[in-house]
Structure 1
Amino acid sequence: MQAQNFTVSGTVTDENGKPLLGATIAVKNASTGTTTDSDGKYAIKVASGNYEFVCTFVGMKTATKNVSVTGNTVVNFTLSDSAEALDAVLISAVRVNADSPITHSNLEKEEIAERNLGQDVPILMNFMPSVVTTSDAGAGVGYTGIRVRGSDATRVNVTINGIPYNDAESQGTFWVNMPDLASSTESIQLQRGVGTSTNGSGAFGASLSLLTDAVSEKANGEISNSFGSFNTRKHTVKFSTGKLDGNFELAGRLSKIKSDGYIDRASSDLSAYFLQGSYVDETTLIKALTFGGHEITYQAWNGIDRETLERDRTFNPSGQFTDENGNVRFYDNEVDNYRQDHYQFHWNQKLSENWTTNLGLNYTYGRGYFEQYKEDEPFDEYGFEEIVINGTTINETDLIRRRWLDNDFYVINANANYKKNNLDMDFGAFLGIYDGDHFGEVIWARFASDSEIRDRYYEGNGKKNDLSFFTKATIRVNDKISLFGDLQLRNVTYKTSGITSDLVPFNIDEDYTFFNPKAGINYRINPKNSLYFSYARANREPNRSDFENNNEVKPEQLDDFELGWRWNGENFTVNTNAYYMLYNDQLVLTGALDDTGTPLRTNSGKSYRLGLEIDASFKLSEQFTLRPNVAISTNKNVDFITSRDGSLVDLGNTDISFSPNFVAGNILSYAPSQKFQVSLLSKYVGEQYMGNIDSDVSKLDSYFINDLNLNYEIKMNSIFESIIFTGLINNIFGVEYVSNGYFFTFDDTWSNPGTVTTIEGAGFYPQATRNFLVGMTLKF
């Protein structure tokens, strides 16, 4: 028999009794939800039963109510501007609201915790729309990467509490430097496309905003341990004092993660910490926090060729050498060893009913090296002089080298928020100062020539200053129409000195000024239906590797058009958007790598991405929930010219590298009770090219993988509040797949003298077959 539905309705107001337009009311652990009208009223239909209703409004404290529904029921909410809500101001410059005309998805703390067993942040985001993830070690621990709409990590702008995390020079994001950050993350927002104003380098594929743990009202603690395949284990201890005297809180975390990796010797030894002190009252939130990590990761960035992939897919060529007796061996310390510490200070102040301000300060200190055993290295590549031993001239040697990066990053970030009636405005300024030293040392050599201990065979410096100003506003014209505008002016200076690791002088002195406007409109057809359209322009400077490979490299420009439709029904929600991203001088991945595993890029002239994204949530019954997403796209370089067999060839329109035309995901959850949940997580990624010339040699095959996630909670009345058991079986069908790789070409002039033949090759990063992780969390 069909269960009878009843209406739960009510009004959402602030503490002064003013109705709130656009507040969200949702049923926890269900897809049911709606938003309020101009009178603050809402209505939602549910079957009889016990529910937890959650009411949220940006800039205000979330309210929850447990309701037993046996008939039509009235549930009113009054939201407060308590100090906890000031956390929203901390990230208001880089985040958007639910009804903003910006394409976005959110990942909340509860969902992160369901799969947080040691794998890194990108892997936890794998099932979000248009996302493709990869792992060097093959199992999600160590070096991991993320692509959004085909754009790699250098084009995904990442902020933590509004502070840029991308490396200033490489523009990459190295999650391995902050192990287990997910355990201290309150929420994640992924904006696809250009998104809203961000601090740091401009977004060309997506913006990713992380908010660390909010202030806890009550004292609590947590001990988590997990174990799994490839000798993977994670140990985490967390605590919070809760509010002491109603105003002060101290919270912290220590983490240790180790894994042998799926790939041979691709081990990870990761340590991390997080410490936060907070002061809160009705109008003030002050946070001082420090977090960071130390990673020692055996290198696995060389990949393997196709023949090795078919014969021995876990083989790792890193560290391989031949000893004096002709035996093949592997150097045991071919590792990446890096420490990174972050120090942040945030002062959020509510000045009046309308004005709130935020001041953020940051210092990041990073230092470390990667170590390599190299055979038969020429003396002149290290500045060594030839030597003569027993009448024999020696000009090459086996050696062990370390390439160092030692950097400092300072940030001043200030913004203000003004809210009155139907106007919501943000103003902000950002200054980032980066100073990075690059140098190399030979720590052992079979023949050391005239070198001294700690001699630097190369040394260089990079300095980058990033200054930006922005203002953005949302104006509610009436009950149906809201307008969004965002203007950013950004100036970047980048200077280098010294020499590169190839002993080539490297002197760059560039100054860029970019104007990045954005605008959008949201049309609310009714409480369930809304349409939006937005336009955004982004300009972006080249990174260090781009300059090293081509001093004439150009900045790139993107015009992003987004058209979307949102449906928020009683038992299902649907978000649909079409996008057109038009690039000029886009820096696309060539598919090749340099000798540190860094992908190489080149300006491609005109190019575009045209796509359709759909994500939805369906409540199939009281126990079953379905959350599918799909992205269909075409990604093209226009009139792409390449060198082939010694001459230039116009290939016409070609596929942009690492840009599959079809990506889909799904989460099917079964929750027979509030204590137990099991989910099947599925991901399909279509075939893609690793280069831009549509070569079959560069093709990655499509793959379809499925994970199984289980969570069971036991409520306790003794020392522990609860015990949570978590299980995760990754790739349950044991699919042998590859999610990443590289492609290269070179001109062969030796085989047939007088002719030039272009040779193509590829490398692959295989991912783990079936593997598992299990964990237990004690909460008290």
Structure 2
Amino acid sequence: MRQNRVRFMSLLLLTLISIGWTYAQTLVTGKVLDKELKSPIVGASVSTGQGATLKGTTTDAEGNFKLEVPRNATLTIRSVGYVSYTHKLSATTRTYALGTIYLVEDAVSLGQVEVIASIVPKDRKVPVPVSNISLAQIESKAFNTEFPELLKSTPSVYVTRSGGGFGDSRIMMRGFDTNNLGVLINGVPVNDMENGRVYWSNWAGLNDVSSLVQVQRGLGASRLGISSVGGTINIVTKNVDAKKGGSVYTGIGNDQYVKYGFSISTGLMDNGWAVTASGATSYGDGYVKGTDFRGWSYFLNLSKKINEDHTLSFTAFGAPQWHNQRSARHTQEQYAEHPDKERMNLEYGYLNGGVYSARHNFYHKPQLSLNHLWRIDERSSLSTAVYASIANGGGRRVDGKIEKVGGKTVRYTNWIEAYRGKLDPIAKRTASGLVDWESIFAANAAEGDKGSKVILANSVNNHQWYGILSTYRNRLDEQFTITAGVDGRLYKGDHYKQVYDLLGGVNYQNQLLKNQIDAGKTFLKPGDIFDYHNIGEVVWGGAFAQGEFTSDEFDAFLSGSLTYQGYRYLVPDGYNEANYKKLAADIRDRAASDRVNFMPFSIKAGASYKFLDYNNVFVNAGYFTRAPHFGGTFLNYSAEINKNLTNEKILTAELGYGFTNEYVRVNLNGYYTKWNDRFLRRSSVLDTRQYFNFRGLNAQHMGVELEAEARPVDELRLNAMISWGDWRWGGKTLFDVYDESQTKVGDGEINLKGVHVGNSAQFTAAFGFDWEVFSKLHLRGNVNYFGKNYADFEPTNRLSKKGGEIEVYTGDAWKMPDYTLVDLSVSYNFELYKGMTATIFGGVNNLFNTRYIADATDGVKVDSNNVRTGEDALVWYGFGRTWQMGMRVNF
């Protein structure tokens, strides 16, 4: 009887709550159109709330929407490239028809960003596969998460934390690393001009200032002549919002992680000005032992709408930081035997009561840009961005003498370093296995005037980079649009090694100065430059053009680019102070090169066809050439030009299908990419520490990707993806071998046919949800599966030295174990005061503390079937369970 009363009271309570909920809600309907074109805007977000608690829906293929919201709520409609629309409801009925809402292009700053960055709308008028990460998703996932990890649920994307240091994450897309991806911030390319890499520690503040991230896989929509073999990552910063208000936030996480920051914006004021500023700082001990860090970030945007035709926007952004690192990988057995397990780091110890690491990175790469948008008339516009980046910083490394002792070669760097994961018997370690700095200081001091046997040096990489991007766009009529522009860049990189810490000694005398006259009198002190000092100059000039056809059902484009890239290598006259002039002639002759010129080009085309209202198919194809990176152009770290190089050649094609309505969005596509004449430079695993240049490498990447989103009810958003790839190296390639003094000591040929591309999972799947459990309380979860992941074969890891001959190992790379990760987060929004809200959030990554190998370098041990076992593979484990929690106040 009592149970029946309890059930009755529970049912009555639920009924009353339901009645109250229903009474307090209003069903809003409407239609969103482009004001100028009068065409539907597909995928526009319609929502209430802000930040991590956005509740809403998106417009369908006809621009229609319906959303149940609290009465008297404020409704906001947003779409990439348009000014946001805000409407305060005053509904007194159960339904409310908002009618037709016309959005206008955002004149504050997104106009030029959209033109230069080539942002693709959700209706896929440009036929390329696209994934978007919205502001709400960024704010709900980004705390205590590095920027690349925001993309880990994207098809064919693989992200790891590498050695575990702050900002040391890496990202692969369709099997290609950032050297071969295009990364743009507000349309400005940020890939390194010499090697194409993106160092994410330089952009640690992106999580705090991004409003949209768009991943374009494959050819991408960018018209620039950038080397986006695998895809393009477009990042649009918050200055485009130009919405009045701001926020302050703070939070904590695992391993003493602390972060706090602010953001504030005036919105577009009556005088035409808009100002947005933000700043943040974070610090912690790091998940991997001995990887403590400190980072800052700042962002400023000043925009001025001069009149209806002209808008100026100035942006300054930077993220100075320092962090300790872990560079050495180890075998699975070595991790298992160490008390720190997968957090093991053998490159640090304690000195004067604090962590002192042999591996340390420090850098500051501010970027300044001035954008001008000129609306020439109703159909044409000219968008120009002038930008500059002046960077300073580098990384700490171990340097030491090499001597013959008792007939054996002794490398004193082994006092500190673990070579190929193993400690040398001469390693100086404390009882707990850490670097024994005090013992090293004492040993160096005992050498007296002979100088330190081992020191710490900084490898410094400063650069100055100036550029201009200008894009003209003309909508000839309702169907044809042409876009053309220029891309100019000047780059100068200054690279040298500099004595940092003598570790107790009085000077340092290095064998790499052996070719200097009177080398024995070369006593180096902290701040002295040695070993190398070179300057890389890059001149870049490109032109691009694209024609587009658009109709209700059919869209097509044809684009091309032609780029001049000129490289020059030189050594400054003042290298190593006065000692440079004492260099022997064979070294001095390497001091300057002629300019090496390349003329890569690209041509790509695509088309899409929309049918039966909600369906579309697309196809694209392209062929482009790419200049070798700077490091492959010059041999032996000198001005000697590699005469065997040629432009690398890439052919790619793609076919896809999409379905979109107000409840579901599904995209399916398949791709094929062929890459010929690729150049690679790698260090070997040989005990003699040699270096290899591989030329003429070929690779083939193909696969299938499926991505889906669904909103079965307003309170629940689901997303899923699955991708399968087959990425392999192919054919024979030639290599040249160099010793530590950069003297050629041999050459050979290796057959890589069928070997899988490594360290990028070729089979991935993900499922996620965002559930508003009740008003303003959101629960989010993600499950990610990674399989078919092979060790990085690093061509030289198939070579060994036996009896003076190079032996070539065959067979595929080691296949790492598959793994699945589960992440969970929660947030709750509430009102603090009129016009001021707060969000409390928390989350756990790798909820079940799964132990998994994220990165590996191939070994040589095989079983009876000649399959690699992975026993001697050098690996990094991924992070175990991590957590974060914090609070954000919006005003």
Q: TM-score, normalised by structure 2?
A: 0.75
2:342 to 313, 318, 322: 313
Equivalent position of 1:465 in the other structure? 539
Given that 2:679 and 2:694 are in contact with CA atoms closer than 8 Å, whether structure 1 keeps it comes out as yes
Q: Residues 575 and 246 of structure 1: is their aligned pair in 2 closer, same or farther, counting only changes over 3 Å?
A: farther
Give the drift of 1:481: 1.0
| Match of residue 777 from structure 2 | 676
TM superposition shift of 1:10:
6.4
Partner of 2:39: 20
**Residue 865 of structure 2 aligns with which residue?**
none
The residue identity in structure 1 corresponding to 2:61 is T
Counterpart residue type for residue 314 of structure 1: R
- The 5 A counterparts of 1:724-763 are 724-743=839-858, 762-763=873-874
Residue 404 of structure 1 pairs with residue 460 of structure 2:
yes
The aligned counterpart of 1:495 is 568
CA distance in 2, matches of 1:351, 1:413: 18
**Which residue in the other structure is 1:486 paired with?**
559
Aligned pairs for 1:330-369 (under 5 A) are: 331-332=356-357, 334-369=359-394
Is the 1:590–1:690 contact (alpha carbons within 8 Å) kept by the matching residues of 2? no
Distance 1:345 1:48 in 2: 40
Partner of 1:625: 717
One-letter code aligned to 1:543: H
Displacement of 1:542 after TM fit? 2.3
Select 2:655's aligned residue among 544, 547, 563: 563
- Name the structure 1 match of 2:744: none
Instruction: Please say if residues 621 and 653 of structure 2, whose CA atoms lie closer than 8 Å, have aligned partners that are also in contact.
Output: yes
CA distance 1:8–1:245, change in 2 (3 Å): closer
Distance in 2, Cα, partners of 1:591 & 1:671: 52
Equivalent position of 1:288 in the other structure: 314
C-alpha displacement at 1:19, in angstroms?
2.5
What is the correspondence of 1:93-242 to structure 2 with a 5 Å cutoff? 93-95=116-118, 96-98=120-122, 99=124, 100-138=126-164, 141-199=166-224, 201-215=226-240, 217-242=242-267
Q: Indicate how the Cα distance of structure 1 residues 370 and 47 shifts in structure 2: closer, same or farther if over 3 A, else same.
A: closer
Q: CA deviation at 1:642?
A: 8.4
Aligned to 2:51: none
Q: 1:365 to 1:46 in 2, by over 3 A?
A: closer
1:367-382 to structure 2, matched below 5 A, reads 367-377=392-402
Give the count of matched residue pairs.
Answer: 741
Match of 1:92 in 2: 115
Residues 224 and 184 of structure 1: is their aligned pair in 2 closer, same or farther, counting only changes over 3 Å?
same
CA offset at residue 488 of structure 1?
Answer: 0.9
Helix, strand or coil for the counterpart of 1:196?
Answer: coil
* Secondary structure of the corresponding residue to residue 320 of structure 2: strand
Q: Could you say what secondary structure the match of 1:75 adopts?
A: strand
Contact 1:539 1:557 in 2 (8 A): yes
Q: Could you tell me which amino acid in structure 2 is paired with residue 546 of structure 1?
A: G
Unaligned 5+ runs, structure 1? 37-41, 324-328, 383-388, 747-758
Structure 1 range deviating more: 720-729 or 356-365 = 720-729
Preserved contact between residue 196 and residue 518 of structure 1 (Cα < 8 Å): no
| Farther off after superposition, 311-320 or 390-399 | 390-399
Aligned counterparts of 1:194 and 1:240: Cα–Cα separation in 2:
36
1:448 equivalent in structure 2 = 508
Q: 1:662 aligns with which of 749, 763, 766?
A: 763
Q: Say whether 1:774 aligns with 2:885.
A: yes
SS in 1 for 2:208: helix
Kept in 1: contact 2:708–2:721 (CA 8 A): yes
Letter in 1 for 2:877: P
Listed as ranges, the gaps of 5+ residues in structure 2 are: 1-21, 48-54, 405-409, 413-444, 510-521, 577-586, 637-641, 738-746, 799-809, 862-869
Q: Deviations over 1:71-117 (max 9, x none)?
A: 79573122224524x51332323323332101111112121011121
- Give the aligned residue type for 2:820: F
* In 2: Cα distance, 1:64 partner to 1:267 partner: 44
Question: Residues 188 and 92 from structure 1, CA distance in 2 versus in 1: closer, same or farther, beyond 3 angstroms?
Answer: same
The one-character-per-residue Cα deviations of 1:17-40 (angstroms, maximum 9, x if unpaired) are x5315644555456664223xxxx
Mapped partners of 2:187, 2:373: distance in 1: 12
Alpha-carbon distance, 1:204 to partner:
1.1
8 Å CA contact retained: 1:664, 1:683? yes
1:700-739 equivalence runs, <5 A? 700-718=816-834, 721-739=836-854
Structure 1 residues 440 and 773, CA gap change in structure 2 (3 angstroms): same
CA 70–364 in structure 1, closer or farther in 2 if over 3 Å, else same:
same
More displaced 10-residue stretch of structure 1: 604-613 or 152-161:
604-613
Distance 1:771 1:555 in 2: 44
Q: Deviations over 1:439-466 (max 9, x none)?
A: 1112344353432443311210100111
CA distance in 2, matches of 1:745, 1:408: 43
Say if 2:83 is the partner of 1:61.
yes
* 1:699 equivalenced with 2:815 (yes/no): yes
The 5 Å alignment of 1:460-609 reads 460-476=534-550, 478-498=551-571, 505=590, 509-547=595-633, 551=642, 552-587=644-679, 602-603=694-695, 605-609=697-701
Amino acid at match of 1:83: A
> Given the superposition, is the C-alpha separation of residues 274 and 151 from structure 1 closer, same or farther in structure 2, using an over 3 Å criterion?
same
Q: Give the superposition deviation at 1:636.
A: 1.9
- One-letter identity of the residue aligned with 2:480: L
Q: Aligned letter for 1:704?
A: T
Q: Deviations over 1:3-60 (max 9, x none)?
A: x9x99986655546x5315644555456664223xxxxx5567789989987666644
Picking from 75, 81, 103, the partner of 1:79 is 103
Give CA-to-partner distance per residue, 1:118-155, whole Å, 9 cap, x none. Answer: 3221012222222111113548x431111111111211
Shift of 1:310: 2.6
Greater shift, 540-549 or 569-578, is seen at 540-549
The alignment status of 1:261 with 2:286, answered yes or no, reads yes
* Number of the residue aligned with 1:415: 471
Which residue identity is paired with 2:458? R
CA separation in 1, counterparts of 2:379 and 2:303?
Answer: 24
Deviations 1:495-520 (A, max 9, x none): 1123999x895766421112201101
Residues 741 and 651 of structure 1, relative CA distance in 2, 3 Å threshold: closer
Note the alpha carbon deviations across 1:343-366, whole angstroms, 9 max, x for none. Answer: 111111212111121110111011
Distance 1:471-1:199 versus aligned 2 partners, 3 A rule: closer
Rounded to whole Å, the distance in 1 between the matches of 2:230 and 2:61 is 29
**Further displaced range: 308-317 or 531-540:** 308-317
Larger radius of gyration: 2
Alpha-carbon separation, structure 1, partners of 2:101 and 2:536: 53
Larger mean Cα displacement after TM superposition, 526-535 or 621-630: 621-630
Give the secondary structure class of the aligned counterpart of 1:93: helix
For residues 703-750 of structure 1, give each alpha carbon's deviation from its aligned partner in whole angstroms, at most 9, with x where no partner exists.
Answer: 1101001111112324x611111111010000011222334779xxxx
After superposition, the CA RMSD in angstroms is: 4.0
Q: 1:518 to 1:548 in 2, by over 3 A?
A: same
Q: CA deviation at 1:621?
A: 3.5
Contact 1:378 1:395 in 2 (8 A): no
Structure 1 CA distance for aligned equivalents of residues 379 and 395 of structure 2: 51
SS in 1 for 2:453: strand
Is the 2:78–2:84 contact (alpha carbons within 8 Å) kept by the matching residues of 1? yes
Structure richer in strand, relative to its length: 1
- Match of 2:470, SS? strand
Distance 2:135 2:446 in 1: 68
**Gap change, CA 1:262 and 1:778, over 3 Å in 2:** same
